[in-house]
A and B are shown apart, each in its own frame.
Chain A
Amino acid sequence: METPQSSYIPIIIQAVFAAGFVATMLGLSHLVGPKRKSQIKDENFECGIKSYGNARIPFSVKYFLIAILFVLFDVEVIFLYPWAVNFKVLGIIGLYKMLLFMGLLLVGFFYIIKKGALEWE
């Protein structure tokens, strides 16, 4: 899988195109679209209950628990990538090594379930 950096040029072109498309569309809708401005129109909620208070209230820590567990398993999944690319070269030994790694983390996964860390109280 020899890849000189020049092979990334299509990707760069695609990225530039995607960004350019978004920018063009936003600009276009700004130019072409109708503009009506009034105090009522500019409110966060045009209809319904009048908003009060501040949106920046502290989150529950429960989200953070899920977020950290996500990161941990994310790191685990990342390690699958170099193994998967070499799947045939590494053969059955590589599979065992990977199974050991996954197995150890699977214990962690069962532990998390047992502890009820994924339950939303």
Chain B
Amino acid sequence: MDIKEIIFWSLSTIAFITAIYTVIAKNPIFSAISLLVCFASIAGHYLLLNAQFLFIVHIIVYAGAIMVLFLTTLMLMNLNEETEKHKPAIAQIAALVIAVALGIVLMLAVRKANVILTMGPMTDSIGDVKSLGTVLLSEYFYPFEFISVLLLSAMVGVVLLMKKDKTAALK
């Protein structure tokens, strides 16, 4: 086996196991940590595909910032009480059936897929930060600027939903 293949299979195994553990873990903190490991192994996949920017984003934003948010959210809740009720068995079975069906459909579709036809030649520069930056700031500059609207909207939302009302405090 090629070294790349070995890395691929070990990363996939880790990602798979940790993803399942995220769902089934009883303790939410374990769930979050396992998700963190899952993110890290997916970031490794990005690196294998030479998508450096995605790798960096995944580590900094997802594994770094979003996970901090998840953990903070867990701290906001009262973890001592076991308040979460288990879903009825029928819902669990239905979810399982749908997930398995989706998985089978995707696998069959991907097996039959013939994807590389329309792509350009595969070179080392595909997916690296430099070529991504060129595309982002030339062809995709409008969506890029539009993202700032998305971020601003989220900012206003955070302040709107979380900041204590000054007038209410005065009354």
Contact = CB atoms under 8 A, between A and B. Distances in A.
B164 A117 contact: no
A14 to B, nearest CB: 14
A117 B65 CA distance: 19
Contact of A90 (B50, B129, B132, B134): B134
Interface residues of B, number: 52
A3 B52 contact: yes
At the interface, is chain B mostly helix, strand, loop or mixed? Answer: helix
Given A86-B137, A90-B137, A2 B145 contact: no
B79 A115 contact: no
The 4 closest A-B CB pairs, nearest first, are A82-B133, A86-B133, A104-B148, A59-B75
Interface of B: 4, 47-48, 50, 52-53, 56-57, 60-61, 64-66, 68-69, 72-73, 75-80, 123-125, 128-130, 132-134, 136-138, 141, 144-145, 147-149, 151-152, 154-156, 158-159, 162-164, 166
